[in-house]
Amino acid sequence: MNETLERWSSRRAFILAVTGAAVGLGNIWRFPYITGENGGAAFLLLYVAFVVLLGLPVMMAEILIGRAGRRSPMQSLGHLATQAGRSGHWRWLGLFGAFTVFCILSFYSVVSGWSIEFLVSAINGDFVGKGAAEIGAGFDAFLADPWRMTFNHTLFLAMTMTVVAAGVAKGLERLNNLLMPLLYLLLLVLAGHAATTSGFGQALAWLFTPDLSAVSPTVLIAAMGHAFFTLAVGACALMAYGAYMPDHQSLPRAAAGVAVLDVTVALLAGIAIFSVVFAQGMDPAEGPGLMFVTLPVAFADLPLGAFWLSLFFLLLLMATWTSSINLAEPMVATLQGWGLGRGQAAAAVGVAVWMVGMLSVLSFSTLADVRVLFGMNVFEWVTTIPPEIFLPIGGLFIAVFAAWVLPEPVALRALDAGPHGFRAWRGLVRWVSIPLTLVVLASGLI
Ligand code: PFF
């Protein structure tokens, strides 16, 4: 298979695209609920440390491979490995990545569907004047209604696959250019609004005063998994975007910019959410429903509550949309590499993800108690194991490939950061990221 000819139209477009991939449910839905479940500030501290020591260097490794290979992830890995005189079996890492994003997209689409439902409800003013019990019961009733859930899941996946089918320059790039700056603006407004609530001080204290005695292997694994998840690293999804990266752009600078933007979004979302949670005396450890239940409750009493809430769900939907197109890209690119047209590939991926996503839809009703996967139902499994185990494993192999297998001149050129920058990056990956990932994974398994 030959090199792809498509490129992002500019450096800015590439950074926006990677930020679009990184910022999503992970920052706005998953980060607050996982932080809530894992006790707050200590988790936050670990997560930021893992972003710096693992997420960021491995992100560079992943994009670098895509940029050096300029093919679909599977083909880039296979091609680069054989060129370096190594085994072509490295390409199976691309397939593992595709399997990981497949699992992730299957729940991603379902939860993003919730935000469509909630956006419509918020605009209709359905939550106005309602109390916690009533809103909680409404959410449970929604989850228990497979038809409404299916409708939203289908709609969201159709939105995603339509953009993906249109291709990089026309589809992904235009959407990213439009949505990302808007998203920042909205988040700043929401965080500013949070600062006026009575829970603001408590939220800051809870998020930023770590109690290190709360750290356990579970917390470590969760924090590491989340660092990979939030940066969209470990599933070869950014490798697919790296293949379209323009020549002459420093990769470390681009990646660091994205990481800063990504963590900022999570912090702003955390402040926005926990301020209202504490102002209303709610439970931060509520779980996956945290954002969906507490925010409507919190905003219901506030002046202009329906407006702020609609804005919030709009923002969430925009963020998840740009991430889900990134989740779909490696699968579509792989099928294209196997000879399918882009439209056909997008349709095939859409149908397959839709079917598996239905298992998550039904995990709240018919299949709620089908716990064949280590005591978890399908939704619990796909929201835990692929992010916390598959992504770090994928990231580990990506790091080994970039830092040990790729010949130095190839990696040096693709990183585009000069010899000193290259050596610093490779040293970090070889002697910090790889061992640290191994140690945390092992601690979790034991
Ligand atoms: N980074 C995305 C988020 O935070 O919602 C999720 C994600 C996208 C994970 C792409 C993995 C991936 F390959």
> Atom 8 in ligand 1: which residue has the minimum CA distance?
232
Residue 316 has pLDDT above 80, yes or no: yes
CA of 325 to the centre of ligand 1 (A): 10
Closest-CA residue to 95 (of 351, 321, 397): 397
CB 334 within 8 A of CB 96: no
237 burial type by CB count under 10 A (0-12 exposed, 13-18 middle, 19+ buried): buried
**The pLDDT of residue 144:** 95
22 touches ligand 1 (CB under 6 Å): yes
- As separate numbers, helices (DSSP H) first and strands (DSSP E) second, the chain gives 22, 0
**The pLDDT of residue 2:** 66
101 touches ligand 1 (CB under 6 Å): yes
**The pLDDT of residue 232:** 97
Which atom, in ligand 1's list, is nearest to the CA of 97? 13
Which atom, in ligand 1's list, is nearest to the CA of 27? 4
User: How far apart (Å, rounded) are the C-alpha atoms in residues 367 and 363?
Assistant: 5
Residue 215, by phi and psi: left (phi above 0), alpha (psi -120 to 50) or beta?
beta
The mean per-residue pLDDT over the stretch 332-353 comes to 93
CB 235 within 8 A of CB 394: yes
**The pLDDT of residue 24:** 94
- Classify residue 428: in a domain, yes or no: yes
DSSP code per residue over 125-137: TTTTT--HHHHHH
204 touches ligand 1 (CB under 6 Å): no
Say what the pTM is. Answer: 0.94
User: How far apart (Å, rounded) are the C-alpha atoms in residues 441 and 446?
Assistant: 9
Which atom, in ligand 1's list, is nearest to the CA of 327? 10
- Classify residue 3: in a domain, yes or no: no
- Classify residue 1: in a domain, yes or no: no
* Residue range of the domain that includes 270: 11-445
The mean per-residue pLDDT over the stretch 317-328 comes to 92
Residue length, the chain? 446
The mean per-residue pLDDT over the stretch 399-413 comes to 97
Residue 282 has pLDDT above 90, yes or no: no
**The pLDDT of residue 26:** 95
Half-sphere exposure (CA, 13 Å, Cβ side) for 401? 38
Q: Which of 75-89, 128-142, 191-205, 270-284 has the highest mean pLDDT?
A: 75-89
- Classify residue 2: in a domain, yes or no: no
The mean per-residue pLDDT over the stretch 11-40 comes to 91
The mean per-residue pLDDT over the stretch 408-433 comes to 96
- Classify residue 4: in a domain, yes or no: no
**The pLDDT of residue 293:** 82
CATH number at residue 336: 1.20.1740
> Atom 4 in ligand 1: which residue has the minimum CA distance?
26
Percent of the chain scoring above 90 in pLDDT: 67
**The pLDDT of residue 390:** 97
Which atom, in ligand 1's list, is nearest to the CA of 330? 13
CA of 301 to the centre of ligand 1 (A): 33
Q: Which residue has the higher pLDDT, 373 or 102?
A: 102
Q: Would you give the distance in Å from CA 202 to the centre of its chain?
A: 27
Tokens of 336: 């294209």
Crossing angle, helix 200-208 and helix 41-50, to 10 degrees? 60
Number of domains the chain contains: 1
CA of 400 to the centre of ligand 1 (A): 21
> Atom 7 in ligand 1: which residue has the minimum CA distance?
232
CB 68 within 8 A of CB 416: no
**The pLDDT of residue 201:** 95
Cβ atoms within 10 A of the Cβ of 287, count?
11
Residue 1 has pLDDT above 70, yes or no: no
The mean per-residue pLDDT over the stretch 281-298 comes to 84
Tokens of 96: 């593992």
> Atom 12 in ligand 1: which residue has the minimum CA distance?
232
Tokens of 370: 């089908």
CA of 419 to the centre of ligand 1 (A): 31
Query: Ligand 1, residues 50, 323, 383: which to mutate, most atoms within 8 A of Cβ?
Result: 323
**The pLDDT of residue 4:** 67
- Classify residue 6: in a domain, yes or no: no
**The pLDDT of residue 178:** 81
Cβ atoms within 10 A of the Cβ of 6, count?
13
By mean pLDDT, which of 265-269, 368-372, 437-441 is the weakest?
Answer: 368-372
- Classify residue 200: in a domain, yes or no: yes
Residue 346 has pLDDT above 60, yes or no: yes
CA of 282 to the centre of ligand 1 (A): 28
- Classify residue 410: in a domain, yes or no: yes
CA of 29 to the centre of ligand 1 (A): 12
326 touches ligand 1 (CB under 6 Å): yes
| pLDDT band, residue 5 (cuts 50/70/90) | low
